Amino acid sequence: MPDDLHMTPDEFRRHGHDVVEWVAAYMERVRELPIASAVRPGEIRGRLPEAAPEEPEPFAALLHDLDEVVLPGITHWQAPGWFAYFPANTSGPSILAELASAGLGAQGMLWATSPALTEIEAHVLDWLVDLLGLPQHFKTAVGPGGGVIQMSASDSTHLAHVVARDRASRAGAPIDRLVAYSSSQAHSSVERGARIAGFSRVRLVDVDDAFALRPHALREAIERDLAASLVPTIVTSAIGTTGTGAVDPVAEVADIARERGMWHHVDAAWAGSAMLCEEHRPRQAGAERADSYTFNPHKWLFTNFDCNVLWVADRAPLIETLSILPPYLRNLPSESGEVIDYRDWHVPLGRRFRALKLWWVLRSYGAAGLRHHLREHIALAQELGRRIDEHPRLERVAPVSFALVCFRHRQGNDATDVLAAAINAHPNLHVTPSTVGDTRFVRLAVGQTRTTADDVERLWTAIARAA
Amino acid sequence: MPDDLHMTPDEFRRHGHDVVEWVAAYMERVRELPIASAVRPGEIRGRLPEAAPEEPEPFAALLHDLDEVVLPGITHWQAPGWFAYFPANTSGPSILAELASAGLGAQGMLWATSPALTEIEAHVLDWLVDLLGLPQHFKTAVGPGGGVIQMSASDSTHLAHVVARDRASRAGAPIDRLVAYSSSQAHSSVERGARIAGFSRVRLVDVDDAFALRPHALREAIERDLAASLVPTIVTSAIGTTGTGAVDPVAEVADIARERGMWHHVDAAWAGSAMLCEEHRPRQAGAERADSYTFNPHKWLFTNFDCNVLWVADRAPLIETLSILPPYLRNLPSESGEVIDYRDWHVPLGRRFRALKLWWVLRSYGAAGLRHHLREHIALAQELGRRIDEHPRLERVAPVSFALVCFRHRQGNDATDVLAAAINAHPNLHVTPSTVGDTRFVRLAVGQTRTTADDVERLWTAIARAA
């Protein structure tokens, strides 16, 4: 065994250039690869040796297996024919920022453990407050609120429930009396986050014909709970539900939350990106009065997973819930109160430099460039919606929302499932079959980085042929 | 504005090679850079424009600012003179795996959304079960337990508390009666995780002279709580505390936990890596009976942050707590029960391909190579301990534990603080001043990837001169 097995900087150069080439070639060929992995359960594991290797393997073996073992097991979220789920789109600057961040290997648990990690994050999230038309008090530079990068919207939504729970507990409410609310169409992370936070009562409130929360139903649920001596604690509004892209009446929910002293969390995980375009901001009216707001640049803003943003209107209750200071983390800048220590803003203590990719994406595209591409995706979705409306055998199940199109076959659920299967039988197209109520439907989200009008045309041809 | 602002594959090649060069050069020069960032609070933010740029900026501007804006704000965790906190060491293969993973941009929330992400993760964590000498039932391929990558040990410890809480709730215990236990020297993430999970009662149990939990004190605390009609629910044993590297009597805690029907969580966040070396395994005797065990390859196993591993002895209660299945996530492989859907194993729903770096690290070094480097770090720490023992003005405050050395100046706290400050005045050395009880001490963890005997010699010279 040689004395030093670490990859030298020169080896890193050589292998690094190979990996860059591999990724560039992947970008070139992903359009042609069958999107859905065709492996059977256990097939990938079956190609791996029973035990870890005892002796070092050359880098060439790793690269070889990237093609031979990994690639067959990848479902290609970065293919331009990806219309499934929501996008998890990426971009060159974001991928390269991940490389630079990994190379620096800095850890931003405290301001002092790498001030650039904290300050660039705080600053770029303040930029985004303006870009999304959110209120000034969400900015760390203004306060009392501020923004922080989390891993996922599930984490942020869970955390909102934890902070709301603690605020209610401090006011004397027993934890088993607390109630969390959202619409029945809210993302599963809302109910899940509430239950993880210890809420045993989660009310999924009725929705209207457009799948948006009915404020009247929310009021009724709250009244019933108050009458039963329960404590309404938090309500989540969705801007762009995962099911159909529905937008809850955020302003009315904000009114109700304020009346009842409840925490109001806004989940704009996917649709938040659209708020860069002023014409969509009326749909988030009322969000300026929210206690917390979350959106995912890692869905539809060309920024690699993971990158979720959580803003709070007031950082004090967040920090009060999460701050515990052991001696080995004490340091002068923290004690001066002049700096942000993001360790107190989320469940994890450690944190990598995720703001770098957001900063690089915002600068590489410019705000105008991001709006340009978002508007393009939205226009493509609107055009698809128009064609569906004109087609005699198809109908939308919900209004086209931002860049999400939900439709069905007029002959019913079976015909709709056949339609979805026929689209997904095209190796270079991928959509999600879903259900709302008893209705099966096909869910199309336009938003992969390289999706163009031609790809949407391919999709439409497949839909029309199958219909 | 041009029609398409996305970086083309050829532009990615060009810029990618520049970033690889930048990282390689960083590896070469990090030894010479002053470790601690010298910026003042607000200085980095002050260099950034007030608002996000409206127009696209060239990639060269980003690279330029990596040197001009970012680097002055980095505290260099990757410097070979880094002895502070615990290491967050990295390696070439790990950094390049982050690049490949970001380039693939796949999302592993479900097995079906990229089977390779799930199967390689499950398989490599099974490899690690053997490498760390943990029980076979921790393997997904054996069961009923299994391993999963989380973001941080804080997340895993929080989750253990949530699952233990729900298990107790299902057995009828009211949440405000539940009690969590650990030693007074456990990492702050234990108390913090318990409180986030809704435990209002957290007992920090007394320790012995080596800062390890006293089983007798644990028993007493449990008896007191039972007498008060409270419900002892979970106890955490530490293998290698953050303060001094203390190792709790895991087997005795396991006995107590079993007697009382409590969940037993083992936090080996840093020291878990040492278990690759058989000679250290006696220190985790009893861990084979734990309900959960966590360790961080991102601390001391040459794998970039974030990469934490959580194993559970039984995956059923974990999945029972975390599983909620909305219609858009339904799919055949999941319903067959043949596959793992890691979405049900942690708070986030989405997940990136973090197993790739762990797989690449294990293969690049081989198990023998990893043991070689771990033993080297441990030997260097032991040697430092011997020199401190021989020095008339210095004394250890705890036994050298794995690769952690804790010592003080015999003249007391002030002299110790002066000593720590004198070491940290060397721009290429960094240690953590800390406190245990009323005793100030200097905390040295050997574990940065490129730390050699020469670096430890430099450190010793600085210590001896200052003492």
Question: Which chain A residue shows the shortest CA-CA distance from B37?
Answer: A114
Cβ-Cβ contacts under 8 Å, A116 against chain B: 37, 39, 44, 69-74
Same-domain check for residues A300 and A163: yes
Contact state of B39 with A100 under an 8 Å Cβ cutoff: no
Cβ-Cβ contacts under 8 Å, A113 against chain B: 75, 77, 85
Among B305, B327, B352, the domain boundary falls at B352
Is A7 a residue whose pLDDT tops 80?
yes
Within a domain: residue B83?
no
Neighbours of A267 (CB within 10 A): 31
Cα separation of A254 and A258, whole Å? 6
How many Å lie between the alpha carbon of B365 and the closest alpha carbon of chain A?
Answer: 5
- Per-residue pLDDT at B328: 67
Same-domain check for residues A347 and A380: no
For testing the chain A interface, which of B4, B13, B20 should be mutated: the one with the most A CBs within 10 Å? B20
Find the CB nearest A367 among B8, B53, B352: B53
Question: Which chain B residue shows the shortest CA-CA distance from A71?
Answer: B116
Per-10-residue mean pLDDT of chain B, 467 residues long, equals 90 98 98 97 97 98 98 98 97 98 97 97 98 98 96 98 97 96 96 97 97 98 98 98 97 98 98 98 98 98 98 95 77 79 95 98 98 98 98 97 98 98 98 94 98 97 96
Cβ-Cβ contacts under 8 Å, B89 against chain A: 105
Cβ-Cβ contacts under 8 Å, A322 against chain B: 192, 196
Question: Which chain A residue shows the shortest CA-CA distance from B95?
Answer: A102
How many Å lie between the alpha carbon of B257 and the closest alpha carbon of chain A?
Answer: 23
Contact state of A107 with B39 under an 8 Å Cβ cutoff: no
Contact state of B327 with A434 under an 8 Å Cβ cutoff: yes
Contact state of B434 with A328 under an 8 Å Cβ cutoff: yes
B331 is written with which tokens?
């799919």
Cα separation of B200 and B266, whole Å? 21
Give one DSSP letter per residue of A338-354, joined into a string: -S--GGGGSS-S-----
Within a domain: residue B82?
no
How many Å lie between the alpha carbon of B136 and the closest alpha carbon of chain A?
Answer: 13
Q: What is the pTM of this model?
A: 0.97
Cβ-Cβ contacts under 8 Å, A397 against chain B: none
Contacts of residue A375, defined as CB under 8 A and 6 or more positions apart, other chains included, come to A277
Bridge partners of A48, per DSSP, are none
DSSP category for residue A66: I
Contact state of A41 with B131 under an 8 Å Cβ cutoff: no
Contacts of residue A60, defined as CB under 8 A and 6 or more positions apart, other chains included, come to none
Within 13 Å of residue B7, how many CA atoms lie on the same side as its CB? 30
Contact state of A96 with B449 under an 8 Å Cβ cutoff: no
Same-domain check for residues A334 and A373: no
Contact B244, B404 (CB under 8 A): yes
Within a domain: residue A80?
no
Within a domain: residue B78?
no
Among B21, B55, B73, the domain boundary falls at B73
Contact state of B25 with A42 under an 8 Å Cβ cutoff: no
How many Å lie between the alpha carbon of B349 and the closest alpha carbon of chain A?
Answer: 6
Same-domain check for residues B314 and B447: no
- Per-residue pLDDT at A161: 98
Cβ-Cβ contacts under 8 Å, B195 against chain A: 321, 324
Cα separation of B101 and A78, whole Å? 12
Contact state of A9 with B22 under an 8 Å Cβ cutoff: no
Within a domain: residue B190?
yes
Question: Which chain B residue shows the shortest CA-CA distance from A431?
Answer: B328
Same-domain check for residues B346 and B393: no
- Per-residue pLDDT at B334: 74
Contact state of A195 with B321 under an 8 Å Cβ cutoff: yes
- Per-residue pLDDT at B40: 97
Same-domain check for residues A250 and A123: yes
Is A329 a residue whose pLDDT tops 80?
no
Contacts of residue B223, defined as CB under 8 A and 6 or more positions apart, other chains included, come to none
- Per-residue pLDDT at B324: 78
- Classify strands B231-238 and B178-183 as parallel, antiparallel or unpaired: parallel
Nearest to A440 by CA among A465, A423, A467, A415: A415
Amino acid at B112: A
Cα separation of A449 and A225, whole Å? 45
pLDDT digits (tens, 9 = 90+) for A221-254: 999 999 999 999 999 999 999 999 999 999 999 9
In angstroms, what CA-CA distances link B218 with A406, B182, B254?
57, 8, 12
Q: What angle do CA A227, A229, A235 make, to 5 degrees?
A: 85
Contact state of B151 with A348 under an 8 Å Cβ cutoff: yes
Cβ-Cβ contacts under 8 Å, B55 against chain A: 366, 368-369
> Domain with B335 in it: what CATH number?
3.40.640.10
Find the CB nearest A328 among B99, B155, B242: B242
Cβ-Cβ contacts under 8 Å, B334 against chain A: none
- For residues A289-308, average pLDDT: 98
Within a domain: residue A87?
no
Cβ-Cβ contacts under 8 Å, A189 against chain B: 349
How many Å lie between the alpha carbon of A52 and the closest alpha carbon of chain B?
Answer: 5
List Cβ<8 Å contacts ≥24 apart for A415-420: A416/A440, A416/A441, A416/A442, A418/A466, A419/A463, A419/A466, A419/A467
Give one DSSP letter per residue of A267-294, joined into a string: E-TTGGGGGGSGGGGGGGTTGGG-SEEE
Is B425 exposed, middle or buried (CB count within 10 Å of its CB: 0-12, 13-18, 19+)?
Answer: exposed
How many Å lie between the alpha carbon of A390 and the closest alpha carbon of chain B?
Answer: 26
B319 is written with which tokens?
């999945």
Among A52, A74, A96, the domain boundary falls at A74
How many Å lie between the alpha carbon of B205 and the closest alpha carbon of chain A?
Answer: 16
- For residues A8-19, average pLDDT: 98
Contact state of A55 with B368 under an 8 Å Cβ cutoff: yes
Name the residue with tokens 């005699």.
A392
Name the residue with tokens 């970033």.
B19
Contact state of B306 with A66 under an 8 Å Cβ cutoff: no
How many Å lie between the alpha carbon of B303 and the closest alpha carbon of chain A?
Answer: 10
- Per-residue pLDDT at A328: 67
> Domain with A391 in it: what CATH number?
3.90.1150.10
Find the CB nearest B45 among A42, A53, A119: A119
Contact state of A243 with B327 under an 8 Å Cβ cutoff: yes
Nearest to B147 by CA among B286, B274, B292: B292
Question: Which chain A residue shows the shortest CA-CA distance from B243?
Answer: A328
Contact state of B123 with A52 under an 8 Å Cβ cutoff: no
Same-domain check for residues A309 and A343: yes
pLDDT digits (tens, 9 = 90+) for A23-52: 999 999 999 999 999 999 999 999 999 999
Contact state of A347 with B154 under an 8 Å Cβ cutoff: yes
How many Å lie between the alpha carbon of A73 and the closest alpha carbon of chain B?
Answer: 4
Amino acid at A361: V
Q: What is the ipTM of this complex?
A: 0.97
How many Å lie between the alpha carbon of A136 and the closest alpha carbon of chain B?
Answer: 13
Confidence of residue A430 (pLDDT cuts 50, 70, 90): very high
In angstroms, what CA-CA distances link B232 with A38, A447, B424?
48, 49, 44
Cβ-Cβ contacts under 8 Å, B139 against chain A: none
Contacts of residue A87, defined as CB under 8 A and 6 or more positions apart, other chains included, come to A77, A299, A300, A445, A447, A448, A449
Cβ-Cβ contacts under 8 Å, B73 against chain A: 114-117, 119-120
Same-domain check for residues B435 and B341: no
> Domain with B44 in it: what CATH number?
1.20.1340.10
* E strand or H helix at A195: helix A188-196
Contact state of A77 with B113 under an 8 Å Cβ cutoff: yes
Within a domain: residue A92?
no
Same-domain check for residues B174 and B298: yes
For testing the chain B interface, which of A17, A32, A50, A62 should be mutated: the one with the most B CBs within 10 Å? A62
Same-domain check for residues A346 and A370: no
Same-domain check for residues A255 and A332: yes
How many Å lie between the alpha carbon of A217 and the closest alpha carbon of chain B?
Answer: 22
Find the CB nearest B39 among A115, A329, A432: A115
Cβ-Cβ contacts under 8 Å, B175 against chain A: 175-176, 198, 200
- Number of structural domains chain A divides into: 3
Bridge partners of B405, per DSSP, are B444
Cβ-Cβ contacts under 8 Å, A373 against chain B: 5-6
Nearest to A162 by CA among A195, A201, A138: A195
Contacts of residue A328, defined as CB under 8 A and 6 or more positions apart, other chains included, come to B85, B242, B243, B432, B434, B443
Q: What angle do CA A215, A221, A227 make, to 5 degrees?
A: 135
Cα separation of A35 and B242, whole Å? 45
In angstroms, what CA-CA distances link A130 with A17, A399, B170?
38, 28, 46
Q: How many CB pairs under 8 A join A and B?
A: 485
Within a domain: residue A83?
no
For testing the chain A interface, which of B22, B27, B345 should be mutated: the one with the most A CBs within 10 Å? B27
Contacts of residue A424, defined as CB under 8 A and 6 or more positions apart, other chains included, come to A36, A430, A431
Same-domain check for residues B312 and B425: no
Contact state of B328 with A25 under an 8 Å Cβ cutoff: no
Find the CB nearest B366 among A55, A302, A336: A55
Nearest to B304 by CA among B241, B243, B353: B353
Rg (CA), chain A: 24
Range of the domain at B200: 106-352
Give the rounded distance of the alpha carbon of A429 from its chain centre.
Answer: 22
